[in-house]
Every structure is written in C-alpha cells, then in structure tokens.
Structure 1
Amino acid sequence: MGRWRPDARERLQQAALELFAEQGFAATTVPAITARAGLTTRTFFRHFADKREVLFADEAEIPTFAAKLLAEVPAGEPLEMIRAGLRTMAETQFEGRKAALRQRRAIVASDPGLRERDLHKRAVLAEVTRETFRGQGLDPIRAGLLAETAVTLMYVSVAEWLDTDDDRRLVDIIDTAFATLRAELQG
C-alpha cells in the first residue's frame, strides 16, 4: 500500500480533489479518498479532521500569514500598504496555481456548506486586517473600511484572474482593480 511514504498528505489531497471533481463533494467519502490515494482512513484522519479540511486545511494559518504580511509592508499610506500586501500575496500564494485554484473554486461553489466555510475564511481575513490597522493606530471606522476594501479587492481580482484565459498575472489585475477603485473614489 505504500502508506509510509512521506507524501501521504499530498496524495490524500490530490485523490480528494480528483474525486470531488469527478463525483461531487457530497458523494465523495473518506474511504473513497483513501482508496484512491492507496492509504488508510486512519492515515487520512492523522492529516485532516474531515473531508472539508482537504480544501480548508491551511485556513488556520491565514490570520498569522495576513498579519505577518501587513507587518512586513513598509508603513505609509494604508491603501498603498494594502496594494503592496496583496501583490506579495498574489506572487507567493497564487501565481503558478491557476488551474488548481479554479478546480478548488468550482468544488467550493458546488456545496452550500463549503461556500459558508469560504465566507468564514473571508471574514477572518478581514478581521485580522482590521485588527492590524487598529494596532497601527487607525480609528475603528477607517480600519474597518480599509480591511473590507482589501479583502474585496483580493476576491474581485482573484475572480477576474480565474475567470479569464489570458496571460495576465494576478498582480497586474490587482493593480488594475486599485486604479479602478481610486478613479471611482476620486470621480
């Protein structure tokens, strides 16, 4: 069975994603995932609490990653800090993964529980961003508006990137979204 190979987590993720795409999230069982991966259900539960965690396993790292990313951006005008942070996130977390992210998005969109979980992830990201800005001395309203704007810009940019088959990079779409927002706010 090869269950002692060090790539068990990756094999389980790949098997789950294939099955989710083939037969749907709801119809896929943990035993089917482990059979496809050539592993045991016990091994699955060493890596994931349930099959949803295959899609959201790194969710717990989001607050730390977002706070670290914002802390590393040079202090300055908050919108430029957001732009720089989103560009860094795009380059480090998204570029080169377009096909996999499209597949994940389709799976999440197919199930109400997964969509709800994704909305929770979005809310957590906004809260971390809001608290980071509050920690930098911004008043609550400004911090909240900037945090929600940052998350919305990211989601809108990623959606545009995933929806198109051109060769634009995500960072270029983020820049376009920022320019559009600035023009709308000034116009």
Structure 2
Amino acid sequence: MASINDIPYQVIRHNPNEETRKVPIPLASEGFFFHNERMKFTVKTSSRHYATKLPGFVYLTNRRLVLIAKEPKDSFESFQIIFEEVLSLKASRTMKSTVSSYVCHTVHEHGIQVELEFHNAAQCQTYNDYMKMIVVTAAAQNLAPAETDLMEASHLEYVELPPSYSTVAAGVTDPILEQTPIHSSRIPSYSAATQ
C-alpha cells in the first residue's frame, strides 16, 4: 500500500553541529538495507502530484520504501510503499546516471510514479542494486510479479544482512553489494529483526 503523511518517524541529531535526520520507526521484522539523505524525490499518483524534487531522506528496507521530506511542503511530508502489497514495479529509463525512476501499482493505488535524484551515480547504483534484490526476492515469494525491468541484470552472489535500526539511525554507511551472475532462486529471503 502507498501511504501519504502517516509514517511515524523520529528526529535524530547526535551532536549540535550535525543536521537533524528523520528516521522511520521500524515495523515488525524490518531490516534496513539502504538510506540516503543527500537526494531529492518526486512522487505522483494517478490522481495527484505530491512532490517535485523535494529534498529529503530515502529508506529502503526488506518491507517498504520510505521517503521523508527534510521540510514539509504543500502539506506533504512523507510517503511509503509496502512491498507486500505491490502488484507490479517497472523501472523507467532515464538519461541521468543519478536518477532512479519507476512506476508502481499496489492493491490500493494505480500508477504511483516515484523518481529519486541522488547526489552522485554511485549512490544511485547502490540504491538500484538493493531495489533489484528486493524485487527478485519478492517475486520468488510471489509477492510481486516477475515482469519487471528492475529484475534485469540483478546478478547478486551474496548480500550482507541489513544493518540494524540503531546502525541506520547512527548514520553508519551501508554495505555495497558484490555483483556476480547467479540464478535468482539462490537469493535468500530477508526478514531480519531489528536489534
């Protein structure tokens, strides 16, 4: 399901010289794979345009994609997609190596368009690698259909377990996946409990 403005989060600042971070409160059995705070996002649904290049935070977990604005704009503050309710997820081709764009259909929403613009191409590629892994795993568990461009070239030999919620909240960087061709059937299921 896609949710607008109802994602519980906490505001974190570890010292006075550090910018505040907004971190979503984890769901049950949720492990964080990826987070980034130097990005901008655009969210549109079939009925409304919510945000355009809004600076914020992205969190990708084994259960959902969460976007939280650094500062609310036009009554928009947060957005999430729960992967268990995704019917299809199709990548859109972009000309920029720093942009990841796709259209998602859930059991409740038709045509959610999400575009993430990262600070550099490496951050964008890391995000795409994690998203591919999640889509492949979801498809193997029949949570999402196999028809998606995101599944192309998802050559992952192993994946480090996601960091704990406390690690994400502390601002520790995420591990980068190694890439080696294998069959998607060897990708394990991820439901790491938070620590």
Normalization by structure 2: what TM-score? 0.29
Normalization by structure 1: what TM-score? 0.30
* Structure with the largest fraction of helix: 1
